[in-house]
Amino acid sequence: MNAVLDELKWRGLVYQSTDEAALAAHLDEGPVSGYVGFDPSAPSIHFGNLVQLMVWRRLQEAGHKPVLLVGGATGLIGDPRMSSERNLNPKEVVDGWVERIRSQVTKFVSFEGSNGAEVVNNYDWTQNISTLDFLRDVGKHFSVNRMLARDVVATRLESGISYTEFSYILLQSLDYRELYRSKGVTLQTGASDQWGNISSGVELIRRSEGARVHGLVTPLLTKADGTKFGKTESGTVWLDPAMTSPYAFHQFFLNAEDAKVIDYLKVFSWRDHDEIEHLAHLTETEPFRRAAQKALADDITDLVHSPAEREAAVAAAQALFGRGELDALPAATLQAVMKEVGAARVSGPELPTVVDAMVLAGVVASKSAARRAVDEGGAYLNNQKVTDPEQWLTTEDLLAGHYAVLRRGKKTIGGLVLD
């Protein structure tokens, strides 16, 4: 078996492939060019998309060449969803998202050397294809019966699916053939929900080119209960720091479930087998240490953002719970912290009392509970113990001129933001 394929399997990154033995032999034969696509359905990719970039980072380290496709054409259509028809975004919006995602994906692979990565946009080869040429050259190779059998299409038939979304599979298959013809691409990867699109591209190349190419899909990230990962109560975990702050990003992985944290470490960390097995042992025997979660959060934040942003996120978390100086945190980090704790907004010119502030911030249920916390020595403003229940907040109490952190006891945190 091929070494890099074995590594991908150990890391839980192989769910299905067109022919595993043939793919292993193909990878052994020499450098393989392969691609993965990212449709610009939002201004940023999310951490679920990062799985594919990890696959290609490992394949590239093994000598293979990644082609990263940002779908300026397919992004105008949208891969059909199980739930409902997608809204079609204006072309100028999609074009802007293409450029933003292009800049994101380039961070995770190398563009140097003989197997340096390339980034392509499928709008470049679809924009001038006529409808007649598309139907004759691509459509004739697809059976409607087979297309109707796809899970997403079968699910949507009752509620309705447009011809536009129904035809998406043809566009993605065309991409694979175009990259096969122009760049010698012989492997496409994606998440398991892309299997129908990928295998159809493989079949199109077999039918029209008489060539054998390959497909490989990874499992979807899931929580311990089997539900999809990538969406949380607070929204999608984006790679763009303006959409998910480095602090929130780090906190998200710090809270990974014990039952899944080792799976995520295998995917997103470059730690070797022995290190990960050791962290697995600690998770089983000393789960209170959360050693694997800390390793995961640190490694993936370093990768996506930077070591400096990870250090700032760690410092912010420590400062929130009284183990660091809140006033030393940058304004951007404080803003992210306020968003994460669900800080209440207040307007001047008169600031509230600490008792009122604790109620507004949600760290207590009532003014009487706030006064009781003060009397018992468990009320804190910016990590300073409050001793006077009649104390008022002042402008000097506002971190970076806008923020105040309220805490009850050791763990109940809230905040205020002065507009």
Record the tokens describing residue 78, joined without a space.
């949208």
Q: How many CB atoms lie within 10 A of CB 43?
A: 16
CA distance 241 to 230: 16
Q: 361 with 393: CB under 8 angstroms?
A: no
CA distance 89 to 164: 13
Q: What is the DSSP letter of 79?
A: P
Record the tokens describing residue 14, joined without a space.
């192989």
- 103 sits in which H/E element: helix 91-105
Counting other chains too, the contacts that 371-377 makes at CB distance below 8 Å and 24 or more residues apart are 373/408, 373/409
Q: Mention every residue, 6+ apart, whose C-beta is less than 8 A from residue 392.
A: 351, 352, 353, 354
Buried-state track 260-270, b at ≥16 Cβ within 10 A, e below 16: bbbbbbbbbbe
168 among the known binding-site residues?
Answer: yes
Beta strands across the sheet bearing 403-408: 344-346, 412-418, 403-408, 379-381, 384-385
CA distance 343 to 346: 10
Record the tokens describing residue 129, joined without a space.
């294809």
Dihedral angle sign, alpha carbons of residues 122, 82, 228, 242: positive
CA distance 263 to 370: 42
- 254 sits in which H/E element: helix 246-254
Q: Mention every residue, 6+ apart, whose C-beta is less than 8 A from residue 136.
A: none
264 among the known binding-site residues?
Answer: no
Record the tokens describing residue 122, joined without a space.
């499928």
Helix (H, G, I), strand (E, B), or coil: what is residue 403?
strand
CA distance 401 to 418: 8
Where residue 263 falls (left for φ over 0; alpha for ψ -120 to 50; beta otherwise) is alpha
Dihedral angle sign, alpha carbons of residues 21, 173, 142, 155: positive
User: Which residue carries 């679920």 as its tokens?
Assistant: 48
Binding positions for ATP: 231
Binding positions: 35, 168, 172, 231
Binding positions for L-tyrosine: 35, 168, 172
